[in-house]
Structure 1
């Protein structure tokens, strides 16, 4: 017990910020590294080195305690425990697959020619959707919507009037911002709304109410950007990932099919 306590105290004495040796402390000569700390924190959003000194020390103390107890358990034969053996075998399987997968993915390389060929054959997939920027006024009845349109028709400053009416007449959370919906793609809105907004010219509003499942809308289109085809350079990284993913899936399926043909599989 005295040996364990002295080892613990010696380890704590080394607690500090990350040293040039790239470890935080040692337990009987075994280093406590960044990986040990990351596993203890179990949250990649936490930056250990930005934690207060007392919090860093507490994390390291927990890691040291775990290492000492784990070593003691191994010394006393925990590896012979059936639960331990079962867990180790499961971990081996998972780790074997993960490393095999990592090695396979890293081995897959594609030339510029292959990537450009894929791009040319799939140009229709590399299109940036058009964007709409609009305000809206949402009301329950068609009559209310038509009354709002009449008021807009009479206004000299259409957008200012639209904002005023949105704040006083519209339903829903956007009313406080004058009905502003910001920029959005067609797919983000229900089809009827997107169709109504897209049919307008910038700086114009609906002349007839647009009906959706939410009620009746009057739409003011601030701006719209047409869809555009993306260049090869813009999507080269994505193409690499697609090609790697496709080839990996193909190889994994071929190997799995081969192994399954030789295996005895029973699904209950």
Structure 2
């Protein structure tokens, strides 16, 4: 069950592990007299991506300050934790339960009305259409990038196949079963219905330029080798009616409103608190990012 602050391995923005100074100076950060300890920050830093380790460290410290602010408010209001469990029986922590209940109680988010949803739909109409579908087949002459000999042989064979298909395109399935080194060979090279993002960019660039019934005029290089592509059919995307996406729009608008409201609430708590050693505003919270 996801918690309010997910536990992930330490990563920087480039994917490398965050390296934390094993003996940094004490941060001396306090929230209404409660210290945010060095040990807690070192543990929390695992959950924050950053270009530099010091930025991840600062982000972790801010997250803990926000968490402490919210927990202090929950305790002040006498909120008793009622821990929830997901469908696999995993229970949230007592602190997470308190935070959830506090925000449910204190942050009021109005429901998105029909008029508001319609306005968003009209202003972002391009977002609400089904994707164009491409029904295609291919023949793969395999050759990894690090194997130039195999790639060159594949390119030559692909060119030969294309020349043969110019004379008789109906043999595409036959050639696919005989020469293709893709599992789709047994299906005559059939890749089924493809949408944007389902194949590598090099393949898509050519596929999306073909017309129905057209074969790629030259072999298509990808990291897997060389392809001969046959585009059977294009099913153009269709505009989705408002009624089909209204619930999705409402959920998005309400989630956005919740994030803004939480940020404002945290800002109010921070403004009324005595915080030493770090500057905090509502946008620093991991709950609203």
Alignment TM class, shorter chain as reference:
0.5 to 0.7
Instruction: Give distance in 1, aligned partners of 2:176 and 2:130.
Output: 31
Instruction: Give distance in 2, aligned partners of 1:235 and 1:180.
Output: 32
Query: How far does residue 40 in structure 1 lie from its aligned partner after superposition?
Result: 11
**For the Cα contact (< 8 Å) 1:105–1:244, is it kept in 2?**
no
- 1:42 aligns with one of 88, 93, 101: 88
- 1:152 aligns with one of 165, 182, 203: 165
Secondary structure, aligned partner of 1:128:
coil
1:168 aligns with 2:170: no
Closer, same or farther in 2 for the Cα pair 1:41/1:223, shift >3 Å?
Answer: closer
Instruction: Give distance in 1, aligned partners of 2:265 and 2:241.
Output: 36
Instruction: Give distance in 2, aligned partners of 1:193 and 1:183.
Output: 14
Instruction: Give distance in 1, aligned partners of 2:246 and 2:130.
Output: 15
Name the structure 2 match of 1:134.
136
- 2:262 aligns with one of 249, 252, 256: 252
Secondary structure, aligned partner of 2:212:
coil
TM-score by length of structure 2 reads: 0.56
Closer, same or farther in 2 for the Cα pair 1:265/1:176, shift >3 Å?
Answer: farther
Closer, same or farther in 2 for the Cα pair 1:164/1:183, shift >3 Å?
Answer: same
Q: For structure 2, list consecutive stretches of 5 or more residues without a partner in the other structure.
A: 1-83, 142-150, 279-289
1:113 aligns with 2:115: yes
TM-score by length of structure 1 reads: 0.60
1:227 aligns with 2:240: no
Name the structure 1 match of 2:275.
264
Closer, same or farther in 2 for the Cα pair 1:243/1:227, shift >3 Å?
Answer: same
Report which of the two has the higher share of helix: 1
1:215 aligns with 2:225: yes
Describe the superposition over 1:220-260 as per-residue Cα deviations: whole angstroms up to 9, x where unpaired: 11211223332211211110011111000000111112223
1:195 aligns with 2:208: no
- Pick which of 257-266 and 100-109 moved more: 100-109
Instruction: Give distance in 2, aligned partners of 1:230 and 1:41.
Output: 32
Q: For structure 1, list consecutive stretches of 5 or more residues without a partner in the other structure.
A: 1-37, 45-89
**For the Cα contact (< 8 Å) 2:109–2:257, is it kept in 1?**
no
Secondary structure, aligned partner of 1:183:
strand
Describe the superposition over 1:77-126 as per-residue Cα deviations: whole angstroms up to 9, x where unpaired: xxxxxxxxxxxxx61x3222223445578853122111111111122222
List structure 1 runs of 4+ shifted beyond 4 angstroms: 38-41, 101-107
Closer, same or farther in 2 for the Cα pair 1:40/1:232, shift >3 Å?
Answer: closer
- 1:143 aligns with one of 156, 160, 178: 156
Name the structure 2 match of 1:96.
98
Greater RCO (CA < 8 Å, at least 6 residues apart): 2
Closer, same or farther in 2 for the Cα pair 1:123/1:174, shift >3 Å?
Answer: same
Describe the superposition over 1:191-222 as per-residue Cα deviations: whole angstroms up to 9, x where unpaired: 22112112222233222212222221111112
Instruction: Give distance in 1, aligned partners of 2:112 and 2:167.
Output: 62
